[in-house]
Structure 1
């Protein structure tokens, strides 16, 4: 973590010195001295994490260094902010005669920088006795610390790991043999043994789905509330149950399940104290052939919940053969073998043997190897480090996870520790994590020197491919939408975060804080070190945030990340926004699904460092202020799902760094204050665009050609919500799309046939096509290509197209590379291979199609 903090500051120093300007030049010698000193010790710090756990003196020194670096980062942020003010006040950099007294926050900057450099020099001298061996180790590994290219490879599907076939068959036999009443069965064993994975495999089995009328998954965990378990059951049944008391929740559950054969999986149960299970069990209908599966580490818990000896499954440790197979899959991203080199296999076998047949340990170590070079020397180093870790840690799983953490590149460590603020078993939006990492500067700049969404996605894939993070929900094209972490991984995260003062400081204040949480006023006072305040709630929970918190939020001067998403305030949101606008260093602001927000105040234009602004699903938001176009550092602007928003403000073309623009609604051509589609052609960094069209008079002559100028555009969504008027469809034929687009989504398309430009010749790089809702009747003639050109699509989704008349055989012939298809409510789609798919709730789905 110290390495990560130093690396982040060095990168920012480089950018700061590159920007120049009167403010920076005033202290250039001190910044350059700081840069030189930090570079001298950076190599040593890359190997400090493991050694500092053993040497208390080293821990104390590096802890001190970390706090000094945080101070330096705050001064750099102040300089950057002052430079932005100078540009605003003078129209450019300050003239030579300008006085720095105009910037009182920087008046003492020179003295503070000299003090910080003096502290760094003293710390460096104290580190020298520890440095020689560490430098030799770290220098040999420099070339491998940013192996980003492999992270985009396929990750291991946790439900398809080896050694489960017999276990799944055994549990399915119990399920299908249940006849009278409700049958309870348990999966019992130590952490990391694969209890949840086995239950997931059964839960997702097609025969199991067909056997039961309702199948429900409930995560219980160590810290739970009885009402939340009931609400989780109701959520699976399509009822949020918000506001209901315990008796009403139980009544609804009984009503929904009465007369149905159901299966409920209660995952990770730790206790049945307080009588919660007895009350819930008595409320469940006793329908014949219904079943309950419990996963727990405590066999007594399973028995008290009704599992008898004949229906308790105790997963066994994996055999050496299965262990090696799982290790190979994790270390290669899914292949059955990793190398024909016998020396590599020998070292690999030694590593696997140390894992003792525990699936979680094997996946953690294998996932770590996936992101390292396949060399005997590198694998031998891992084997030796694993041996040393096991000598100090009796818990095999925790030892393997600690090793995996130690081997993370420096910039991935703080990304990983961000999970410490989330409650157990919390399902987390991937975008929330990536945007947080970007906002705090954890994500390294791309090769061009700028921050990019792709770099943030690479960081997420780096954790996912190392099996430290689990994917929960994916979109139709396979992209991860939500994720979670294993409870043992969370134990490690919390332990390291505490040791590194990542979230909470020794004086009781916080550096990073989750909402909801217990937040006394003293944590939000003017000298707070708080850098990130992040919502950890979800749509089913009502946040109890008090107005005293929002009243003090403006005092958190060092705040970089503020995420109030899904939050229900008890104060006026407009008042909250006015307070937020006084925070000078804020880079990420998330107000997703915030209630009662009708407008954003003009004062938001004061957030000159803002890079990510998420206002999505603020359903009654009507206007955006004109000042939003002055936020020149914006990378992400998301107003998707803002149904009441009339248009975007004029001047959006000034946001030249914008990479993601969602929910763009153009104004009518006769509106002088609104933004037109033609302005988009200046956004040459744009990679993702969601365009909303309702009527023809929103499109001026030549507007639709603007999109063809977006040469970095990869992902395009066009929604025709509330569209009407015969003039819209003809204008859509004039749309020109750049050829490099790889993902296209059309929603509520108004024409009778697909547009002429939707063809494999115009879109040769398209890999993912999604057509949702609409009344069009057939695919246009151009859709089929010219006979010699076929689609290169990998994934196709067709949903709610009741009038579409098409022959699936012809569609598949035009798309021979398809691997994933989802077809929902397309009753006139003839010849779809329904024998290979499941039918649930009117949705037909066929996965992993062969060509």
Structure 2
């Protein structure tokens, strides 16, 4: 005969499961009124309060030392904004199931999708700062979430339950990374083992086994032998290959040959990326990747020695995310990528040897994020032009690179205005106004290197964030005005020739970041007049703006 508290917990478990199922169905419905959403959220809050009461009641039955341990572990629920991980000793007490029953209780009754997302965190070492975007991409690769929006929702739920803590940059409202309290991490590691999600050694590190997830960490050797063992011992083959912090990746054909279930290949390291590069040994084995027809996420971010991608990449018809950021040796992006009809995310930013994009990108109608688009030069052979991007109705984020010899017709410079869903755009120039004039031949009315400084871009009116790098003009151009950009909330200008901030008032900008603008001159009163809604400003190494009322870090914030 169960005890009364056990009966209450059983009822609560059933209620929480049903609520999670209802929440999932509710999120997929477009016919539910906002009032019902509000009512549902109220009910969910009441249930979570009941959970807290149950946990609190459970704590009353524990010894004082056990209670202190649990309270210390639960402190991760509080949001912290510093970027320095707070380490807690990982000993037997932090792994004690009774002391951490509240956390285990929460993990056990997460909605199935959210729980799978959480278990992925078991691969990261204690104290690691985890990039949210890369983790969501992994979730998409595994099929746990269909897109970034749902992935963000899962992150919000994990933060709501206190299982992850957002890590915010100083003076930033947004969190692009997070970490786990060490005690909570041990609970996640235990859950990953119990659910056969990963095989974990006694130190809490993932090892290659039969779960189908190959995790690359420092000191992991003989990967080839272990992958063969995985395939030959009744295993299902690879599901994911994820590089946490291994610098030299011994790429082998066994990783791709016959791997029909492989959904994620993250070869560029996700920890310490900015400090160290990654190298593929036997990089030519990449040509076999076309056999992985179920692949949804491919990241070669930051990997050196890759000069081109194999044409077989065009066979990855399920690919959703292709991340090639900072592949510094990449000279050509194969036209085969234009066959990837399901592609939503393409990043070739910081690939400085690229001089054009392949023609046909306009066929990628599901593309939502495109970073590093290179405007072709007169020497480019059949490049993709800006006019093609006007077909990408779902595009939300766009990054454009305009090189020293880039050419663009008057017509195509106006095409960006047609991207009605575009909310964020970044433009980087590789040309300065002082450069020697060069004649650039291209059919139509072209912009030469000298006249590029006067190009008349036409940006979508709903742009919310504009990021300009190495601006070649001295005065604000006509297209950069509050009249044209009424929805703009964030304006970043980093480096270049700019001398003024214009004279047109009425900007709705709330966040203004100015960096490395040595020629810029503007009085503080003029800034407040130009940007009356300003609440945050950064002035970094703009030597003529020393009189502005910024702190030692160059930050000014409006007091509420």
For residue 498 of structure 1, give the secondary structure of its aligned residue in structure 2: helix
The answer to whether 1:673 aligns with 2:382 is yes
The answer to whether 1:530 aligns with 2:238 is yes
Q: Distance in 2 between matches of 1:433 and 1:348?
A: 29
Give the 3 Å change call, closer, same or farther, for CA 809–513 of structure 1 in structure 2: farther
Kindly state the Cα deviation for residue 667 of structure 1 after the two structures are TM-superposed: 1.3
The answer to whether 1:441 aligns with 2:143 is yes
Higher Rg of the two aligned structures: 1
Instruction: Give the corresponding residue for 1:608.
Output: 317
Kindly state the Cα deviation for residue 601 of structure 1 after the two structures are TM-superposed: 1.5
Query: 1:197-243 CA distances to partner (integer Å, 9 max, x unpaired)?
Result: xxxxxxxxxxxxxxxxxxxxxxxxxxxxxxxxxxxxxxxxxxxxxxx
The answer to whether 1:720 aligns with 2:429 is yes
The answer to whether 1:497 aligns with 2:200 is no
Instruction: Give the corresponding residue for 1:824.
Output: 540
Query: 1:723-746 CA distances to partner (integer Å, 9 max, x unpaired)?
Result: 553110111xx2111111111100
Kindly state the Cα deviation for residue 764 of structure 1 after the two structures are TM-superposed: 1.7
2:524 to 794, 808, 813: 808
Give the 3 Å change call, closer, same or farther, for CA 570–827 of structure 1 in structure 2: closer
Q: Distance in 1 between matches of 2:331 and 2:517?
A: 31
Query: 1:241-269 CA distances to partner (integer Å, 9 max, x unpaired)?
Result: xxxxxxxxxxxxxxxxxxxxxxxxxxxxx
Q: Distance in 1 between matches of 2:27 and 2:463?
A: 23
Q: Which structure 2 residues correspond to residues 398-437 of structure 1 after superposition, within 5 A?
A: 398-437=100-139
Q: Distance in 1 between matches of 2:426 and 2:306?
A: 25
Instruction: Give the corresponding residue for 2:259.
Output: 556
Residues 599 and 623 in structure 1, CA contact (< 8 A), matched pair in contact too? yes
Q: Which stretches in structure 1 are left out of the alignment for 5+ residues? A: 1-50, 55-129, 150-337, 368-391, 444-450, 785-789
1:394 to 98, 103, 107: 98
Q: Which structure 2 residues correspond to residues 14-53 of structure 1 after superposition, within 5 A?
A: none
2:362 to 637, 653, 669: 653
TM-score for both structures, normalised by structure 2: 0.77
Kindly state the Cα deviation for residue 598 of structure 1 after the two structures are TM-superposed: 0.7
Residues 669 and 700 in structure 1, CA contact (< 8 A), matched pair in contact too? no
Q: Distance in 2 between matches of 1:603 and 1:471?
A: 39
Q: Which stretches in structure 2 are left out of the alignment for 5+ residues? A: 1-5, 29-41, 60-66, 80-95, 201-206, 270-276, 436-448
For residue 304 of structure 2, give the secondary structure of its aligned residue in structure 1: coil
Q: Distance in 2 between matches of 1:507 and 1:687?
A: 38
1:514 to 207, 215, 231: 215
Residues 772 and 798 in structure 1, CA contact (< 8 A), matched pair in contact too? yes
Kindly state the Cα deviation for residue 774 of structure 1 after the two structures are TM-superposed: 1.2
For residue 350 of structure 2, give the secondary structure of its aligned residue in structure 1: coil
Instruction: Give the corresponding residue for 1:202.
Output: none
Q: Distance in 1 between matches of 2:242 and 2:330?
A: 22
Q: Distance in 2 between matches of 1:440 and 1:761?
A: 44
Q: Distance in 2 between matches of 1:553 and 1:349?
A: 50
1:744 to 466, 484, 488: 466
Residues 364 and 404 in structure 1, CA contact (< 8 A), matched pair in contact too? no
Residues 129 and 178 in structure 2, CA contact (< 8 A), matched pair in contact too? yes
Q: Distance in 2 between matches of 1:441 and 1:794?
A: 37
Give the 3 Å change call, closer, same or farther, for CA 343–661 of structure 1 in structure 2: closer
Residues 469 and 495 in structure 2, CA contact (< 8 A), matched pair in contact too? yes
Residues 364 and 466 in structure 1, CA contact (< 8 A), matched pair in contact too? no
Give the 3 Å change call, closer, same or farther, for CA 360–675 of structure 1 in structure 2: farther
Residues 76 and 165 in structure 2, CA contact (< 8 A), matched pair in contact too? no
Query: 1:77-102 CA distances to partner (integer Å, 9 max, x unpaired)?
Result: xxxxxxxxxxxxxxxxxxxxxxxxxx
Kindly state the Cα deviation for residue 404 of structure 1 after the two structures are TM-superposed: 2.8
Residues 247 and 278 in structure 2, CA contact (< 8 A), matched pair in contact too? yes
Q: Report the aligned-residue RMSD.
A: 3.5
Q: Which structure 2 residues correspond to residues 269-668 of structure 1 after superposition, within 5 A?
A: 360-363=72-75, 393-395=97-99, 398-443=100-145, 451-474=146-169, 478-504=173-199, 508-516=209-217, 517-518=220-221, 519=223, 520-525=226-231, 528-537=236-245, 542-543=247-248, 545-547=249-251, 549-566=252-269, 568-569=278-279, 571-573=281-283, 575-668=284-377
Q: Distance in 2 between matches of 1:423 and 1:564?
A: 17
Residues 802 and 825 in structure 1, CA contact (< 8 A), matched pair in contact too? yes
Query: 1:36-70 CA distances to partner (integer Å, 9 max, x unpaired)?
Result: xxxxxxxxxxxxxxx9xx9xxxxxxxxxxxxxxxx
Which one has a larger percent helix, Structure 1 or Structure 2?
1
Query: 1:631-658 CA distances to partner (integer Å, 9 max, x unpaired)?
Result: 1110001000001011100011000000
Q: Distance in 1 between matches of 2:266 and 2:388?
A: 30
